[in-house]
Amino acid sequence: MPRVMTVDDSRAVRSIITKQLAAMHCEVEEAEDGAQALTKLQGTSVDLILLDVTMPVMDGPTMLAQLRKSGSKTPVIMLTSESKSSVIGDAMRQGIDDYILKPFKAEELVDKVKKSLKLTDAPAAAAVSSGSAVPGSGQPVDVLLIDDVENVAKRLRTLLNPQVSMLGVASAQAALAACREHPFKVILVDYEFAEVANAQFVSQLKLLCPGAAIIAMPLKPETPAKLLAEVKAKGFSDCFYKPFSPESVEDFSATHFDRQDFLVRKDDLLTVSGFVNKPERFVRYFGRLEALFPPALEGVASDCFSDAFIDLSAIPPLGEIARVLAAVAMKAKALGVGVKLIGPPELRKVLNNFEETKAMALFSDLSKARSA
Protein backbone atom coordinates (compact mmCIF):
# COMPACT_ATOMS: atom_id res chain seq x y z
CA MET A 1 0.00 0.00 0.00
CA PRO A 2 1.54 3.37 -1.00
CA ARG A 3 2.31 5.73 1.86
CA VAL A 4 1.64 9.44 1.38
CA MET A 5 2.38 12.31 3.78
CA THR A 6 0.26 15.45 3.71
CA VAL A 7 1.96 18.49 5.23
CA ASP A 8 -0.52 21.33 5.77
CA ASP A 9 -1.38 23.58 8.70
CA SER A 10 -5.08 23.34 7.90
CA ARG A 11 -6.73 20.42 9.62
CA ALA A 12 -9.64 20.66 7.14
CA VAL A 13 -7.31 20.31 4.13
CA ARG A 14 -5.45 17.39 5.72
CA SER A 15 -8.74 15.71 6.46
CA ILE A 16 -10.03 16.09 2.88
CA ILE A 17 -6.75 14.80 1.45
CA THR A 18 -6.65 11.87 3.86
CA LYS A 19 -10.18 10.90 2.92
CA GLN A 20 -9.52 11.08 -0.82
CA LEU A 21 -6.22 9.20 -0.63
CA ALA A 22 -7.70 6.53 1.64
CA ALA A 23 -10.27 5.90 -1.10
CA MET A 24 -7.28 5.23 -3.38
CA HIS A 25 -6.02 2.67 -0.86
CA CYS A 26 -3.14 4.87 0.26
CA GLU A 27 -1.90 4.99 3.82
CA VAL A 28 -1.78 8.64 4.85
CA GLU A 29 0.54 10.30 7.38
CA GLU A 30 -0.29 13.86 8.48
CA ALA A 31 1.96 16.71 9.60
CA GLU A 32 1.00 20.26 10.61
CA ASP A 33 4.17 21.98 9.41
CA GLY A 34 7.55 21.36 7.85
CA ALA A 35 9.36 20.75 11.14
CA GLN A 36 6.85 18.13 12.28
CA ALA A 37 7.03 16.47 8.86
CA LEU A 38 10.85 16.24 8.97
CA THR A 39 10.69 14.76 12.48
CA LYS A 40 8.14 12.17 11.39
CA LEU A 41 10.19 11.32 8.31
CA GLN A 42 13.14 10.40 10.52
CA GLY A 43 11.18 7.44 11.83
CA THR A 44 9.31 6.43 8.71
CA SER A 45 9.49 6.59 4.94
CA VAL A 46 6.79 7.63 2.52
CA ASP A 47 6.33 7.31 -1.25
CA LEU A 48 5.01 10.83 -1.80
CA ILE A 49 4.72 14.12 0.06
CA LEU A 50 1.91 16.64 -0.54
CA LEU A 51 3.39 19.91 0.68
CA ASP A 52 1.79 23.28 1.43
CA VAL A 53 3.90 26.44 1.00
CA THR A 54 2.83 28.79 3.79
CA MET A 55 2.86 27.19 7.23
CA PRO A 56 3.89 28.31 10.73
CA VAL A 57 7.11 27.02 12.38
CA MET A 58 8.64 25.82 9.10
CA ASP A 59 7.20 26.60 5.66
CA GLY A 60 7.10 24.26 2.69
CA PRO A 61 10.08 25.59 0.70
CA THR A 62 12.34 25.44 3.80
CA MET A 63 11.25 21.90 4.55
CA LEU A 64 11.77 20.91 0.91
CA ALA A 65 15.29 22.39 0.95
CA GLN A 66 16.19 20.47 4.12
CA LEU A 67 14.66 17.28 2.75
CA ARG A 68 16.73 17.50 -0.43
CA LYS A 69 19.84 18.50 1.54
CA SER A 70 19.47 15.27 3.52
CA GLY A 71 19.62 13.36 0.22
CA SER A 72 15.95 12.38 0.09
CA LYS A 73 14.53 12.00 -3.39
CA THR A 74 10.96 11.38 -2.24
CA PRO A 75 8.56 12.85 -4.83
CA VAL A 76 6.87 16.05 -3.69
CA ILE A 77 3.71 17.67 -5.02
CA MET A 78 3.20 21.28 -3.98
CA LEU A 79 -0.43 21.69 -2.90
CA THR A 80 -0.91 25.33 -2.12
CA SER A 81 -2.85 28.53 -2.68
CA GLU A 82 0.44 30.19 -3.68
CA SER A 83 0.67 30.83 -7.41
CA LYS A 84 3.55 33.30 -7.70
CA SER A 85 5.89 31.91 -10.31
CA SER A 86 8.95 33.07 -8.33
CA VAL A 87 7.93 30.95 -5.31
CA ILE A 88 6.93 27.89 -7.34
CA GLY A 89 10.01 28.33 -9.55
CA ASP A 90 12.25 28.10 -6.47
CA ALA A 91 10.42 24.93 -5.41
CA MET A 92 10.89 23.49 -8.91
CA ARG A 93 14.61 24.05 -8.65
CA GLN A 94 14.59 22.14 -5.34
CA GLY A 95 12.79 19.30 -7.11
CA ILE A 96 9.02 18.99 -7.09
CA ASP A 97 7.09 16.54 -9.21
CA ASP A 98 3.94 18.54 -9.70
CA TYR A 99 1.79 21.37 -8.46
CA ILE A 100 -1.84 21.65 -7.36
CA LEU A 101 -3.49 25.00 -6.76
CA LYS A 102 -6.00 25.29 -3.91
CA PRO A 103 -8.94 25.05 -4.00
CA PHE A 104 -8.56 21.84 -5.96
CA LYS A 105 -10.86 19.23 -7.42
CA ALA A 106 -10.67 15.65 -6.16
CA GLU A 107 -9.98 14.38 -9.70
CA GLU A 108 -6.90 16.55 -10.03
CA LEU A 109 -5.50 15.31 -6.72
CA VAL A 110 -6.22 11.69 -7.61
CA ASP A 111 -4.74 12.03 -11.13
CA LYS A 112 -1.53 13.69 -9.99
CA VAL A 113 -1.01 11.36 -7.03
CA LYS A 114 -1.57 8.35 -9.29
CA LYS A 115 0.90 9.72 -11.82
CA SER A 116 3.49 10.45 -9.19
CA LEU A 117 3.10 7.04 -7.57
CA LYS A 118 3.00 5.45 -11.04
CA LEU A 119 -0.30 3.77 -10.23
CA THR A 120 -2.25 2.57 -13.26
CA ASP A 121 -5.96 2.68 -13.84
CA ALA A 122 -8.12 -0.32 -14.52
CA PRO A 123 -8.52 -1.01 -18.24
CA ALA A 124 -10.78 1.51 -19.93
CA ALA A 125 -14.36 0.57 -20.56
CA ALA A 126 -15.06 -1.18 -23.83
CA ALA A 127 -16.30 0.83 -26.74
CA VAL A 128 -19.99 1.47 -27.04
CA SER A 129 -21.22 -1.41 -29.10
CA SER A 130 -24.88 -0.68 -29.17
CA GLY A 131 -26.38 1.49 -31.85
CA SER A 132 -27.08 4.58 -29.75
CA ALA A 133 -24.10 6.32 -28.21
CA VAL A 134 -24.62 7.90 -24.84
CA PRO A 135 -23.87 11.63 -25.02
CA GLY A 136 -21.68 12.84 -22.19
CA SER A 137 -20.38 9.38 -21.35
CA GLY A 138 -16.89 10.09 -22.74
CA GLN A 139 -16.84 6.63 -24.32
CA PRO A 140 -15.48 6.02 -27.82
CA VAL A 141 -18.14 6.24 -30.54
CA ASP A 142 -17.86 4.86 -34.08
CA VAL A 143 -19.59 7.56 -36.14
CA LEU A 144 -20.31 11.24 -35.68
CA LEU A 145 -22.72 12.52 -38.32
CA ILE A 146 -22.96 16.30 -38.76
CA ASP A 147 -25.98 17.37 -40.78
CA ASP A 148 -28.53 20.12 -40.23
CA VAL A 149 -31.32 17.87 -41.50
CA GLU A 150 -32.30 15.45 -38.78
CA ASN A 151 -33.59 12.85 -41.20
CA VAL A 152 -30.09 12.15 -42.53
CA ALA A 153 -28.94 10.75 -39.18
CA LYS A 154 -32.16 8.76 -38.84
CA ARG A 155 -31.73 7.25 -42.31
CA LEU A 156 -28.12 6.25 -41.72
CA ARG A 157 -28.99 4.78 -38.33
CA THR A 158 -31.59 2.50 -39.89
CA LEU A 159 -29.11 1.27 -42.51
CA LEU A 160 -26.05 0.86 -40.29
CA ASN A 161 -25.24 -2.35 -38.51
CA PRO A 162 -26.65 -2.02 -34.96
CA GLN A 163 -23.19 -2.84 -33.61
CA VAL A 164 -21.85 0.42 -35.05
CA SER A 165 -22.45 3.23 -32.56
CA MET A 166 -23.45 6.63 -33.89
CA LEU A 167 -24.11 10.16 -32.72
CA GLY A 168 -25.94 12.71 -34.89
CA VAL A 169 -25.62 16.49 -34.42
CA ALA A 170 -27.09 19.42 -36.36
CA SER A 171 -24.59 22.25 -35.83
CA ALA A 172 -20.87 22.96 -35.85
CA GLN A 173 -20.94 23.92 -32.20
CA ALA A 174 -22.65 20.66 -31.20
CA ALA A 175 -20.15 18.73 -33.31
CA LEU A 176 -17.14 20.33 -31.61
CA ALA A 177 -18.71 19.73 -28.19
CA ALA A 178 -19.21 16.06 -29.13
CA CYS A 179 -15.58 15.81 -30.29
CA ARG A 180 -14.37 17.18 -26.99
CA GLU A 181 -16.44 14.54 -25.23
CA HIS A 182 -15.85 11.41 -27.33
CA PRO A 183 -13.17 9.95 -29.55
CA PHE A 184 -14.77 9.08 -32.91
CA LYS A 185 -13.59 6.66 -35.54
CA VAL A 186 -15.37 8.33 -38.47
CA ILE A 187 -16.83 11.82 -38.76
CA LEU A 188 -19.33 12.36 -41.58
CA VAL A 189 -19.83 15.99 -42.56
CA ASP A 190 -22.71 17.34 -44.66
CA TYR A 191 -20.99 18.91 -47.67
CA GLU A 192 -23.92 21.20 -48.47
CA PHE A 193 -23.84 22.73 -44.97
CA ALA A 194 -21.52 25.77 -45.28
CA GLU A 195 -20.96 26.07 -41.51
CA VAL A 196 -19.16 22.74 -41.46
CA ALA A 197 -18.05 22.05 -45.06
CA ASN A 198 -14.85 24.07 -44.92
CA ALA A 199 -11.21 23.36 -44.25
CA GLN A 200 -11.08 25.41 -41.08
CA PHE A 201 -13.80 23.31 -39.50
CA VAL A 202 -12.11 20.12 -40.71
CA SER A 203 -8.83 21.24 -39.12
CA GLN A 204 -10.69 21.87 -35.86
CA LEU A 205 -12.17 18.37 -36.01
CA LYS A 206 -8.71 16.94 -36.67
CA LEU A 207 -7.35 18.80 -33.68
CA LEU A 208 -10.03 17.41 -31.39
CA CYS A 209 -10.19 13.89 -32.90
CA PRO A 210 -6.76 13.26 -34.41
CA GLY A 211 -7.41 9.61 -35.27
CA ALA A 212 -10.78 10.04 -36.96
CA ALA A 213 -11.44 9.66 -40.69
CA ILE A 214 -13.24 12.86 -41.69
CA ILE A 215 -15.50 12.20 -44.66
CA ALA A 216 -17.60 14.61 -46.69
CA MET A 217 -21.20 13.77 -47.56
CA PRO A 218 -22.00 15.47 -50.90
CA LEU A 219 -24.64 14.58 -53.43
CA LYS A 220 -23.21 12.31 -56.11
CA PRO A 221 -21.88 14.57 -58.88
CA GLU A 222 -21.44 13.94 -62.59
CA THR A 223 -17.66 14.02 -62.23
CA PRO A 224 -16.82 12.34 -58.92
CA ALA A 225 -13.05 12.62 -59.49
CA LYS A 226 -13.20 16.43 -59.65
CA LEU A 227 -15.34 16.61 -56.52
CA LEU A 228 -13.07 14.20 -54.67
CA ALA A 229 -10.07 16.42 -55.43
CA GLU A 230 -11.94 19.46 -54.13
CA VAL A 231 -13.05 17.62 -51.02
CA LYS A 232 -9.49 16.46 -50.32
CA ALA A 233 -8.19 20.00 -50.73
CA LYS A 234 -10.38 20.93 -47.80
CA GLY A 235 -8.87 18.22 -45.64
CA PHE A 236 -11.52 15.50 -45.96
CA SER A 237 -10.18 12.01 -46.52
CA ASP A 238 -13.00 10.74 -48.72
CA CYS A 239 -16.60 11.13 -49.92
CA PHE A 240 -19.67 9.22 -48.83
CA TYR A 241 -22.45 10.16 -51.24
CA LYS A 242 -26.02 11.05 -50.40
CA PRO A 243 -28.66 9.70 -50.64
CA PHE A 244 -27.52 6.53 -48.83
CA SER A 245 -28.40 3.11 -50.14
CA PRO A 246 -28.12 -0.20 -48.27
CA GLU A 247 -25.21 -1.10 -50.57
CA SER A 248 -23.29 2.14 -50.04
CA VAL A 249 -23.77 1.93 -46.26
CA GLU A 250 -22.59 -1.65 -46.30
CA ASP A 251 -19.48 -0.62 -48.23
CA PHE A 252 -18.92 2.20 -45.76
CA SER A 253 -19.29 -0.21 -42.82
CA ALA A 254 -17.02 -2.77 -44.40
CA THR A 255 -14.32 -0.15 -44.98
CA HIS A 256 -14.37 1.43 -41.54
CA PHE A 257 -15.86 -1.09 -39.13
CA ASP A 258 -14.68 -4.45 -40.30
CA ARG A 259 -14.57 -6.24 -37.02
CA GLN A 260 -13.95 -9.67 -38.45
CA ASP A 261 -10.64 -11.33 -37.68
CA PHE A 262 -9.95 -12.79 -41.11
CA LEU A 263 -6.76 -14.55 -40.12
CA VAL A 264 -5.56 -15.30 -36.61
CA ARG A 265 -2.02 -16.50 -35.92
CA LYS A 266 -1.08 -18.40 -32.79
CA ASP A 267 2.55 -19.52 -33.00
CA ASP A 268 2.71 -21.78 -36.06
CA LEU A 269 -1.07 -22.14 -36.49
CA LEU A 270 -2.85 -19.77 -38.88
CA THR A 271 -6.63 -20.02 -38.58
CA VAL A 272 -8.76 -18.57 -41.36
CA SER A 273 -12.13 -17.30 -40.15
CA GLY A 274 -15.37 -18.23 -41.83
CA PHE A 275 -17.01 -15.86 -44.25
CA VAL A 276 -19.80 -13.81 -42.66
CA ASN A 277 -21.25 -11.48 -45.25
CA LYS A 278 -23.17 -11.33 -48.50
CA PRO A 279 -21.95 -13.55 -51.38
CA GLU A 280 -20.98 -10.48 -53.44
CA ARG A 281 -18.34 -9.71 -50.83
CA PHE A 282 -16.40 -12.93 -51.44
CA VAL A 283 -13.87 -11.13 -53.60
CA ARG A 284 -13.11 -8.67 -50.83
CA TYR A 285 -12.86 -11.52 -48.29
CA PHE A 286 -10.25 -13.37 -50.32
CA GLY A 287 -8.50 -10.11 -51.09
CA ARG A 288 -8.08 -9.45 -47.38
CA LEU A 289 -6.79 -12.98 -46.85
CA GLU A 290 -4.25 -12.52 -49.62
CA ALA A 291 -2.98 -9.39 -47.91
CA LEU A 292 -2.88 -10.95 -44.44
CA PHE A 293 -1.03 -14.17 -45.24
CA PRO A 294 2.45 -12.78 -46.07
CA PRO A 295 2.99 -10.97 -42.71
CA ALA A 296 1.54 -13.97 -40.86
CA LEU A 297 4.01 -16.31 -42.60
CA GLU A 298 6.83 -13.89 -41.85
CA GLY A 299 5.79 -14.11 -38.19
CA VAL A 300 6.00 -17.91 -38.32
CA ALA A 301 9.46 -17.71 -39.92
CA SER A 302 10.61 -15.04 -37.49
CA ASP A 303 9.61 -17.24 -34.53
CA CYS A 304 11.73 -20.06 -36.05
CA PHE A 305 8.94 -22.56 -36.71
CA SER A 306 9.77 -24.92 -39.57
CA ASP A 307 6.14 -25.40 -40.67
CA ALA A 308 3.05 -23.24 -40.84
CA PHE A 309 -0.24 -25.04 -40.16
CA ILE A 310 -3.09 -23.33 -42.00
CA ASP A 311 -6.56 -24.18 -40.74
CA LEU A 312 -9.04 -23.68 -43.60
CA SER A 313 -11.91 -25.66 -41.99
CA ALA A 314 -14.21 -22.63 -41.80
CA ILE A 315 -13.88 -21.29 -45.33
CA PRO A 316 -16.12 -22.11 -48.26
CA PRO A 317 -14.08 -24.24 -50.71
CA LEU A 318 -14.15 -21.90 -53.65
CA GLY A 319 -11.71 -21.47 -56.50
CA GLU A 320 -10.41 -18.15 -55.15
CA ILE A 321 -8.79 -19.83 -52.15
CA ALA A 322 -6.49 -21.72 -54.50
CA ARG A 323 -5.26 -18.41 -55.89
CA VAL A 324 -4.63 -17.19 -52.34
CA LEU A 325 -2.85 -20.43 -51.45
CA ALA A 326 -0.70 -20.25 -54.58
CA ALA A 327 0.62 -16.94 -53.27
CA VAL A 328 1.03 -18.53 -49.82
CA ALA A 329 3.04 -21.40 -51.28
CA MET A 330 5.42 -19.00 -53.05
CA LYS A 331 5.85 -16.81 -49.99
CA ALA A 332 6.44 -19.86 -47.73
CA LYS A 333 9.00 -21.21 -50.17
CA ALA A 334 10.80 -17.88 -50.20
CA LEU A 335 10.87 -17.86 -46.38
CA GLY A 336 11.93 -21.51 -46.14
CA VAL A 337 8.79 -22.48 -44.21
CA GLY A 338 6.79 -25.67 -44.92
CA VAL A 339 2.99 -25.44 -45.25
CA LYS A 340 0.45 -27.98 -44.02
CA LEU A 341 -3.22 -27.34 -44.70
CA ILE A 342 -6.11 -28.47 -42.55
CA GLY A 343 -9.51 -28.56 -44.29
CA PRO A 344 -12.33 -30.62 -45.77
CA PRO A 345 -11.45 -33.28 -48.39
CA GLU A 346 -13.28 -31.29 -51.13
CA LEU A 347 -10.47 -28.74 -50.92
CA ARG A 348 -8.16 -31.27 -52.57
CA LYS A 349 -10.05 -30.84 -55.85
CA VAL A 350 -9.56 -27.10 -55.74
CA LEU A 351 -5.87 -27.43 -54.91
CA ASN A 352 -5.31 -29.84 -57.78
CA ASN A 353 -6.44 -27.21 -60.28
CA PHE A 354 -3.25 -25.21 -59.89
CA GLU A 355 0.36 -26.09 -60.45
CA GLU A 356 1.53 -24.17 -57.37
CA THR A 357 -0.97 -25.76 -54.98
CA LYS A 358 -1.41 -29.34 -56.13
CA ALA A 359 1.55 -30.55 -54.09
CA MET A 360 0.32 -28.92 -50.85
CA ALA A 361 -0.30 -31.34 -48.01
CA LEU A 362 -3.93 -31.42 -46.78
CA PHE A 363 -5.05 -33.01 -43.50
CA SER A 364 -8.46 -33.46 -41.97
CA ASP A 365 -7.44 -32.16 -38.54
CA LEU A 366 -4.58 -30.43 -36.77
CA SER A 367 -3.36 -33.44 -34.78
CA LYS A 368 -2.93 -35.48 -37.98
CA ALA A 369 -1.10 -32.59 -39.61
CA ARG A 370 1.26 -32.26 -36.65
CA SER A 371 2.01 -35.98 -36.44
CA ALA A 372 2.62 -36.29 -40.20
Interface with another protein by CB under 8 A: which residues?
81, 83-85, 88-89, 92-93, 98-101, 104-105, 108, 111, 176-177, 180, 198-200, 203-204, 207-208, 210, 230, 233-235
Least Å distance, CB 321 to another protein, is 45
- The Cβ of residue 331 has, within 10 Å, a number of other Cβ atoms equal to 19
**Smaller CB separation from another protein, 222 or 355:** 222
Backbone φ and ψ of 143, nearest 5°? -125, 135
Closest by Cα among 85, 106, 91, 15 to 51: 91
Least Å distance, CB 65 to another protein, is 17
**Smaller CB separation from another protein, 8 or 268:** 8
Residue 17: what residue type? I
Taking the C-alpha atoms of residue 161 and residue 256, their distance in angstroms, rounded to an integer, is 12
Least Å distance, CB 238 to another protein, is 16
Taking the C-alpha atoms of residue 21 and residue 118, their distance in angstroms, rounded to an integer, is 14
Taking the C-alpha atoms of residue 182 and residue 139, their distance in angstroms, rounded to an integer, is 6
Least Å distance, CB 99 to another protein, is 5
Q: By the 8 A CB rule, do 283 and 325 touch?
A: no
Taking the C-alpha atoms of residue 31 and residue 40, their distance in angstroms, rounded to an integer, is 8
**Smaller CB separation from another protein, 159 or 228:** 228
Where does residue 11 fall: left (phi above 0), alpha (psi -120 to 50 degrees), or beta otherwise?
Answer: alpha
Estimate the crossing angle of helix 150-159 against helix 246-256, to 10 degrees. Answer: 80
Q: What is the DSSP letter of 281?
A: G
Least Å distance, CB 362 to another protein, is 52
Taking the C-alpha atoms of residue 274 and residue 343, their distance in angstroms, rounded to an integer, is 12
Least Å distance, CB 233 to another protein, is 5
The residues with which 135 forms a beta bridge, in sequence order, are none
**Smaller CB separation from another protein, 66 or 204:** 204
Residue 63 CA: distances (Å) to CA of 8, 89, 156:
12, 16, 63
**Smaller CB separation from another protein, 118 or 266:** 118
Least Å distance, CB 107 to another protein, is 9
Least Å distance, CB 82 to another protein, is 9
Least Å distance, CB 174 to another protein, is 12
Closest by Cα among 244, 240, 210 to 224: 240
**Smaller CB separation from another protein, 17 or 301:** 17
**Smaller CB separation from another protein, 99 or 305:** 99
Element containing residue 363 per DSSP (H, E):
strand 361-363
Q: Report strand pairing: 269-272 vs 263-266.
A: antiparallel
Nearest 5°: the CA angle 20, 21, 25 is 120
**Smaller CB separation from another protein, 210 or 279:** 210
Q: By the 8 A CB rule, do 97 and 74 touch?
A: no
**Smaller CB separation from another protein, 152 or 202:** 202
Least Å distance, CB 230 to another protein, is 4
**Smaller CB separation from another protein, 180 or 333:** 180
